[in-house]
Amino acid sequence: METCATTPFDHAKADIILRSVDGVEFRVFTLFLSLASPFFETLFGLPQAPDATTNQEMKDGLAVIAVSEDSKTLDSFLRFCYPSTLAEDPSLENLTDALSVLAAARKYSLDLIERKVCQALVNPKVLETEPLRCFAISRNARLKHETIIAARHTLRQPLIPAWCAEIDLITASDLLALLTYHKKCSIAVQTLWNFKWITDHYRSENGCKWIFASGNGYNGCRCGRVEDRRFFLWGDRTVTWWTTYIQEVFELLKDSPSGDTVRIAADMTVQKVRGASCTACSGRVGENMAEFSNLLAQKVEEIVEEIELEMDF
């Protein structure tokens, strides 16, 4: 049994009815659809056969066109077609309807809606929390730019991702390509362990005395310095908590090779140092680690930028 769609698709002066596959009838204005879509412009511009010679279904004096989309998808893309004063654009932030709306947009040549869906898939707020879902939807839709951006954001998460329903949208080969990309990035960032980027940036020990807990203000430092030569800079010992951070962050980067991993680990180190009894280090650790972690995060992102997601589009 057919039902009528909600406002604004129930207008008494509408001039055509679109019926969804689940039986919901949308009373719409051909003008709005024609302006939004070349497909509808052509469809509604075709000469109409005399009533007696056509099998066109009519209802309340309006032609009824059956479409293959369900009512939820139809409602979403029709709202994009209507003026904003009559219907607000639907939110695609939860991604649930993104693929079906994108398919409808392509089918009906609604370029604006396709761009809107693409924008939703690279929305920083969505990517931050659900990069794998964005990747799967983008890959399924063969959106190269959006797929690559989503793949980059998956690096913030562990190598083996948590399951999501959209994983069924991609093939085993697609998932293998993503995991291979992730692994390559993990291996590549480990080259930063040589610390040349530190000596190149600071030039000398004087540029980063806090790493050695030396100089003015550090006379009372009780954090200690390591004897492990792997952590020596310019042939000198570094402060213990900094070497602990370096060990921890490079271990984390094996699983999540992202600049965010670096910054989050730095925040944790700051809290640890402030919670210790060394007043010499705790007063400056926030500023120093913010600057240092930004530097390391930048180096990580530069390396990852060079790694290619090997996938055909």
What per-residue confidence (pLDDT) applies to 52?
53
SS3 call for 270: helix
Cβ neighbours of residue 171 under 8 Å, at least 6 residues apart?
Answer: none
Cβ neighbours of residue 219 under 8 Å, at least 6 residues apart?
Answer: 280
Q: How far apart are CA 175 and CA 160, in angstroms?
A: 10
Mean pLDDT of 68-92: 88
Closest alpha carbon to 154 in 173, 171, 177: 177
Q: Average pLDDT, whole number, for the chain?
A: 92
Structure tokens that stand for 31 in this block: 């003008």
Structure tokens that stand for 53 in this block: 């010679």
What per-residue confidence (pLDDT) applies to 53?
55
Q: How far apart are CA 268 and CA 227, in angstroms?
A: 24
- Residue 75: pLDDT above 90? yes
Burial of 279 (0-12, 13-18, 19+ CB in 10 A): exposed
How many residues can be counted in the chain?
Answer: 313
- Residue 250: pLDDT above 60? yes
Mean pLDDT of 214-222: 86
SS3 call for 60: coil
- How confident is residue 51, by pLDDT bands cut at 50, 70 and 90? low
- Residue 8: pLDDT above 90? yes
- Residue 55: pLDDT above 90? no
Q: What percent of the chain has pLDDT over 70?
A: 98
The predicted-structure confidence for 261-297, as pLDDT tens digits, reads as follows 999 999 999 999 999 989 999 989 999 999 999 999 9
- Residue 85: pLDDT above 80? no
The predicted-structure confidence for 161-202, as pLDDT tens digits, reads as follows 888 999 999 999 999 999 999 999 999 999 999 999 999 999
- How confident is residue 95, by pLDDT bands cut at 50, 70 and 90? confident
- Other beta carbons within 10 Å of 283: 12
Q: How far apart are CA 212 and CA 225, in angstroms?
A: 7
Closest alpha carbon to 22 in 66, 55, 82: 66
